[in-house]
């Protein structure tokens, strides 16, 4: 089955469980084709709680228009998906192009039972990959990195100011890089390598220094990659995505990258309690534009088939609009996925707007099942050990 | 008392004292304590700091704070959104101005110990402009910390409980007996009084009841609007920063907190608890951590606890006790403390003798290094780290290594974007000692002077310095040598 054949078939598949019956085997076969190429994962946090119904709009559902008299998107503005009663937000035009080319998809109704509607707790649950309390002080991808504690190599970078927990690693195999330029400059600095006295504290600083220096060399190499030739958005998100692509292009030891779109600091985030239409117009364009440039760079430089991109957001939003042209915190949401081995198109059915819980969308797909797929089928890791539970993978890979 | 108490301090030990207490061993301070015993040096430093005048209120602090985000019954939602956005922008701007006013004082002050203890208390209590909002409240808070920095801790705490910034940060500026603020009580017990894990839930509940009755409102003589919309959040309903007691909101019943019983109101409760032995131990521990003293067997902690109780929380007595302790001077304590970003930057400026000109670059550097004044972690909910905690995440060290550039005014591309900013050096005035070294035809002496001035920990690799200071050095190469020292692993330690 070639990619196009598969995509044609996948488009006919209405639900995730049916998709799984076909894709489970295919994914493992594809993964074994190029055993020497490291798989890359780029995780994008959509900060603030993205609204599923503005991402994929159920334009034939009257409940949607009744619930949102002021902020519903008119059917004629939407990016229609063939044979589907749902359409993408018009600002996702570049993301839609990736879908049409067979490189991207959207997984619907993702969440977990009794979802938290708190930003901090919701983010903590998604970042740690578990709802248990007390929450672990490592992220789900940090624990993946910790599986190989013997390796001295950096396994992941969190790029940007948002110092999320997803890559937090006990074995310090991941780094948070808020200011790549400062790290890059370290590569040009000569550091002492001899042990000195007094050993203890100065040596500890030198250890941190040495740890940074290996990353600094990677950032120095990455700064010479081809990213500037691609039209990334001129934003922190665009810059972080460009760094990720440049690092991948230049053979970074890091396999996982975490970037954030939306900021509570600037007040411009997916937390759209007010002025939702204007915020989405900009944020979705930034997301789609960034992913398009990222895809183009990695396809050109030969890493696209080994790269998987996925988004997450701490919760979805409520079905009904509020009285300020926005929406309140809800439950289930959507995840954007993209990559050389992603099954493109919509995954899962349109949400049942009549079956809401406290006005939030009902979760149909457990986010931990998606994490299990990523760990098991993409990163070739023991998902049960890392997630602390046996969770059925949710297939979305070819 | 230790053997140093009567003997003269060696230059090395004198520098240790100054690094820890006064940010840097500047030539003038070294000269002032030369040939003095510990006892004499401490007396002299304390006297100098107490005599120094307190900074006056800057012009940008308004006499009366007017809430730009006030929500009246006539305010439309669109106006409210607009006003809230304006209030947020104003708060950020003023917070930056207050931060820079404090930075200027830190760089230029004749009272570095007072400022250091002010910083100690700021870090111990936490707080963020993102929550507090009003720049005037930040300034009043800073003034309060500074006024009590070398005074008695119970006086500070009693005063702090009616501090608008803290009342807003901890959410008890409208605390009524029917809805006491347990959150505020927990934070006060955690951060001001006895520390986490040293009290019961019941103690917190009882303290929360004592905190009731105090309200921030419009000051006397200013008429507050009568149509404030009760649907607004507290930030949208606050009419002023004047602290007023409303007996009808106060829970007058008896309270028992950590074994102390009385009909406490907020100041009385905090004052009583501030003399609790657990509070004494709490501050003993915080001081030992902040000043980086190795106290392996807990002797100093016990001694400071006793001193706190007998001196009624006198900061000067506590500092004297610390200076009298062998632990403070031991090899295990010297060169073991990772400087906070503020200590690193202020120490470098004061040691080099740079004037406090445009401080925006320094603010940016501090943010990148993880320490923005008036913005402690998690929107002010957490305290600053200490020691090696400043190097988490590891990328902070990369930012710290840019200090050499930042102090000499080179703009740095902070953030994730890579667009290069101009990298011109914008030093307003090159310190005279650097100019003198540039004309010296002896590289070895030049290096000795640079190291004496900057005072890095032993272990600095000097190869690069030898190349820069080779008898042919000019001003640029001396500056580069200074930057090299400031941006080294050895300079991270005090």
Task: Estimate to the nearest angstrom the gap between the alpha carbon of B295 and the chain centroid.
Answer: 23
Helix segments in chain A, DSSP class H? 3-12, 16-31, 52-55, 62-67, 93-100, 119-128, 140-146, 180-186, 199-222, 236-249, 276-301, 367-373, 383-387
Q: How many CB atoms lie within 10 A of CB A262?
A: 26
Kindly state whether A239 is in contact with chain B, defined as any CB-CB distance less than 8 angstroms. Answer: yes
- Whether residue A218 lies inside any domain: the answer is no
What is the pLDDT at residue B428?
61
What is the pLDDT at residue A357?
78
What is the pLDDT at residue B424?
52
The predicted-structure confidence for A200-222, as pLDDT tens digits, reads as follows 788 889 888 888 888 999 999 99
Tell me the residues of chain B between 363 and 402 that have a Cβ less than 8 Å away from chain A: 368, 388, 391, 393-395, 397-399, 401-402
- Across the range A323-347, mean pLDDT stands at 95
Kindly state whether A44 is in contact with chain B, defined as any CB-CB distance less than 8 angstroms. Answer: no
- Whether residue A280 lies inside any domain: the answer is yes
More confident residue, B270 or B430: B270
Is the predicted pLDDT of residue A32 greater than 50, yes or no? no
- Whether residue A145 lies inside any domain: the answer is yes
What is the pLDDT at residue A190?
62
Q: Tell me how many domains chain A contains.
A: 1
User: Is the ipTM value over 0.95, yes or no?
Assistant: no
B415/A236 CB distance under 8 A: yes
In this complex, the residue of B331, B414, B459 whose CB is nearest that of residue A202 is: B459
Residue B402 CB contacts under 8 Å (≥ 6 apart), including other chains: A182, A185, B365, B368, B412, B487
Closest by Cα among B216, B114, B110 to B156: B114
The predicted-structure confidence for B313-322, as pLDDT tens digits, reads as follows 999 999 999 9
Tell me the residues of chain A between 240 and 299 that have a Cβ less than 8 Å away from chain B: 240, 242-243, 267, 274-275
Chain A positions in Cβ-Cβ contact with residue B394 (cut-off 8 Å) = 172, 175-176, 208, 211-212
What is the pLDDT at residue B7?
81
What is the pLDDT at residue A61?
95
- Whether residue A194 lies inside any domain: the answer is no
Tell me the residues of chain A between 306 and 345 that have a Cβ less than 8 Å away from chain B: 323-324
- Name the closest residue on chain B to residue A215, using Cα atoms: B395
B394/A172 CB distance under 8 A: yes
Reduced to 3 states (helix: H, G, I; strand: E, B; else coil), residue B176 is strand
What is the pLDDT at residue A24?
29
Reduced to 3 states (helix: H, G, I; strand: E, B; else coil), residue A319 is strand
More confident residue, A65 or B1: A65
C-alpha–C-alpha distance, residues B451 and B470, integer Å: 15
Kindly state whether B485 is in contact with chain A, defined as any CB-CB distance less than 8 angstroms. Answer: no
Chain A positions in Cβ-Cβ contact with residue B492 (cut-off 8 Å) = 205
Domain boundaries, chain B: 3-51+293-329, 77-274, 337-494
- Whether residue A204 lies inside any domain: the answer is no
- Parent domain of A319: 3-25+37-180+232-387
What is the pLDDT at residue A30?
35
More confident residue, B5 or B483: B483
Chain B positions in Cβ-Cβ contact with residue A204 (cut-off 8 Å) = 388
User: Which sign does the torsion angle of CA A269, A271, A274, A279 carry?
Assistant: positive
In this complex, the residue of B77, B85, B398 whose CB is nearest that of residue A212 is: B398
Is the predicted pLDDT of residue B486 greater than 50, yes or no? yes
Residue by residue, DSSP assigns A211-273 as HHHHHHHHHHHHTTSGGGGS---SSHHHHHHHHHHHHHHTT-S--EEEEEE-BTTTTBSS--S
The whole-angstrom distance between B37's CA and the closest CA on chain A is: 26
Number of H helices and E strands in chain B, helices first, is 25, 4
Chain B positions in Cβ-Cβ contact with residue A267 (cut-off 8 Å) = 85, 88
C-alpha–C-alpha distance, residues A323 and A8, integer Å: 42
The whole-angstrom distance between B103's CA and the closest CA on chain A is: 23
**Which of B416, B423, B465 best probes binding to A when mutated, by most A CB atoms within 10 angstroms?**
B416
B336/A239 CB distance under 8 A: no
Is the predicted pLDDT of residue B126 greater than 80, yes or no? yes
What is the pLDDT at residue B425?
55
What percent of chain A clears pLDDT 90, i.e. is strictly above it? Answer: 72
Kindly state whether A208 is in contact with chain B, defined as any CB-CB distance less than 8 angstroms. Answer: yes
What CATH number does the domain containing A290 carry?
A: 3.40.720
The pTM assigned to this predicted structure is 0.88
Q: State the average pLDDT for chain A.
A: 87
B459/A198 CB distance under 8 A: yes
- Whether residue A224 lies inside any domain: the answer is no
Asked whether B205 and B237 are in contact (CB, 8 A), the reply is: no
- Across the range A88-112, mean pLDDT stands at 97
What is the pLDDT at residue A196?
45
Chain B positions in Cβ-Cβ contact with residue A236 (cut-off 8 Å) = 415-417
Kindly state whether A133 is in contact with chain B, defined as any CB-CB distance less than 8 angstroms. Answer: no
In this complex, the residue of A186, A192, A201 whose CB is nearest that of residue B461 is: A192
In this complex, the residue of B337, B413, B458 whose CB is nearest that of residue A198 is: B458
- Whether residue A288 lies inside any domain: the answer is yes
Asked whether B165 and B91 are in contact (CB, 8 A), the reply is: no
The predicted-structure confidence for B50-88, as pLDDT tens digits, reads as follows 999 999 999 999 998 999 999 999 999 889 888 988 998
- Whether residue A31 lies inside any domain: the answer is no
Residue A100 CB contacts under 8 Å (≥ 6 apart), including other chains: none
């Amino acid at each position: 089955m070639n990619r196009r054949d598969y995509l044609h078939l996948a488009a006919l598949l209405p639900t995730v469980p049916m998709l799984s019956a076909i894709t489970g085997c295919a994914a493992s076969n594809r993964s074994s084709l190029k055993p020497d190429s490291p798989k890359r994962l780029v995780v994008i946090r959509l900060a603030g709680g993205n609204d599923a119904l503005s991402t994929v709009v159920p334009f034939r559902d009257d409940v949607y228009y009744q619930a949102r008299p002021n902020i519903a998107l008119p059917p004629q503005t939407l990016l229609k998906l063939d044979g589907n009663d749902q359409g993408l937000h018009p600002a996702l035009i570049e993301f839609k192009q990736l879908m049409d080319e067979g490189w991207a998809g959207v997984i619907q109704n993702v969440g977990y039972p009794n979802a938290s509607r708190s930003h901090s707790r919701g983010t903590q649950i998604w970042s740690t990959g578990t709802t248990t309390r007390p929450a672990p002080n490592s992220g789900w991808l940090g624990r993946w990195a910790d599986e190989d504690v013997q390796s001295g190599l950096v396994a992941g970078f969190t790029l940007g100011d948002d110092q999320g927990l997803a890559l937090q690693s006990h074995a310090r195999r991941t780094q948070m890089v808020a200011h790549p330029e400062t790290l890059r400059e370290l590569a040009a600095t000569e550091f002492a390598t001899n042990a000195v006295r007094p050993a203890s504290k100065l040596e500890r600083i030198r250890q941190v220094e040495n740890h940074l220096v290996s990353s600094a060399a990677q950032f120095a190499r990455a700064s010479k990659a081809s990213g500037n030739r691609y039209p990334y958005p001129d934003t922190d998100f665009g810059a972080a995505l460009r760094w990720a692509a440049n690092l991948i292009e230049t053979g970074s030891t890091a396999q996982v990258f975490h970037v954030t779109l939306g900021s509570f600091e600037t007040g411009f985030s997916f937390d759209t309690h007010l002025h939702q239409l204007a915020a989405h117009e900009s944020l979705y364009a930034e997301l789609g534009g960034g992913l398009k440039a990222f895809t183009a760079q990695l396809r050109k430089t030969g890493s696209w088939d080994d790269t998987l991109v996925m988004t997450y957001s701490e919760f979805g939003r409520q079905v009904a609009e509020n009285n300020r042209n926005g929406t309140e915190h809800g439950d289930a949401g959507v995840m954007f996925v993209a990559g050389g081995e992603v099954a493109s198109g919509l995954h899962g059915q349109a949400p049942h707007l009549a079956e809401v819980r406290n006005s939030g969308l009902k979760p149909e797909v457990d986010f931990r099942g998606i994490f299990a797929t990523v760990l098991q089928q993409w990163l070739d890791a023991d998902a049960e050990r890392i997630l602390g539970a046996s969770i059925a993978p949710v297939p979305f890979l070819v | 008392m230790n053997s140093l108490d009567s003997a003269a301090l060696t230059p090395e030990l004198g520098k240790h004292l100054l690094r820890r207490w006064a940010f840097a061993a500047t030539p003038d301070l070294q000269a002032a304590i030369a040939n003095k015993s510990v006892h004499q040096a401490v007396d002299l430093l304390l006297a100098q700091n107490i005599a120094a005048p307190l900074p006056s209120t800057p012009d940008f602090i308004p006499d009366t704070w007017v809430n730009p985000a006030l929500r009246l019954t006539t305010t439309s939602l669109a106006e409210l959104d607009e006003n809230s956005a304006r209030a947020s922008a104003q708060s950020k701007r003023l917070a930056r101005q207050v931060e820079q006013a404090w930075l200027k004082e830190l760089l230029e002050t004749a009272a570095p110990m007072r400022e250091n203890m002010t910083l100690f208390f700021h870090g111990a209590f936490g707080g963020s402009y993102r929550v507090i909002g009003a720049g005037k409240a930040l300034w009043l808070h800073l003034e309060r910390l500074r006024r009590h920095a070398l005074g008695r801790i119970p006086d500070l705490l009693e005063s702090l409980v009616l501090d608008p910034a803290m009342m807003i940060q901890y959410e008890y500026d409208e605390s009524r007996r029917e809805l006491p603020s347990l959150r505020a009580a927990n934070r006060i017990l955690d951060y001001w009084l006895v520390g986490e894990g040293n009290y019961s839930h019941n103690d917190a509940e009882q303290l929360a009841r004592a905190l009731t009755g105090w309200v921030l409102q419009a000051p006397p003589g200013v008429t507050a609007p009568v149509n404030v919309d009760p649907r607004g959040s507290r930030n949208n309903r606050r009419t002023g920063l004047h602290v007023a007691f409303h007996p009808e909101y106060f829970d007058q019943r008896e309270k028992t907190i950590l074994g102390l019983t009385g009909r406490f109101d907020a100041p009385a409760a905090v004052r009583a608890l501030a003399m609790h032995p657990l509070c004494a131990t709490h501050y003993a521990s915080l001081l030992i951590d902040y000043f980086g003293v190795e106290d392996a067997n807990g002797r100093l902690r016990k001694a400071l606890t006793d001193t706190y109780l007998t001196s009624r929380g006198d900061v000067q007595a506590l500092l004297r006790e610390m200076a009298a302790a062998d632990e403070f001077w031991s090899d295990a304590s010297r060169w073991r403390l990772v400087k906070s970003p503020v200590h690193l930057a202020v120490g470098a400026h004061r040691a080099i003798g740079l004037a406090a000109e445009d401080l925006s670059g320094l603010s940016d550097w501090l943010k990148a290094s993880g320490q923005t004044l008036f913005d402690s972690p998690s929107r002010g909910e957490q305290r600053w780290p200490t020691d090696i905690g400043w190097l988490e995440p590891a990328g902070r060290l990369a930012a710290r290594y840019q200090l050499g550039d930042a102090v000499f005014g080179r703009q740095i591309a902070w953030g994730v974007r890579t667009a290069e900013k101009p990298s011109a050096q914008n030093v307003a005035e090159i310190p005279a000692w650097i100019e003198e070294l540039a004309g010296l035809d002896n590289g070895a002496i030049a290096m000795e002077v640079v190291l004496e001035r900057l005072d890095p920990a032993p272990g600095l690799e000097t190869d690069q310095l030898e190349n820069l200071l080779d008898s042919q050095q000019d001003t640029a190469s001396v500056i580069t040598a200074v930057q090299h020292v400031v941006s080294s692993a050895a300079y991270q330690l005090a």
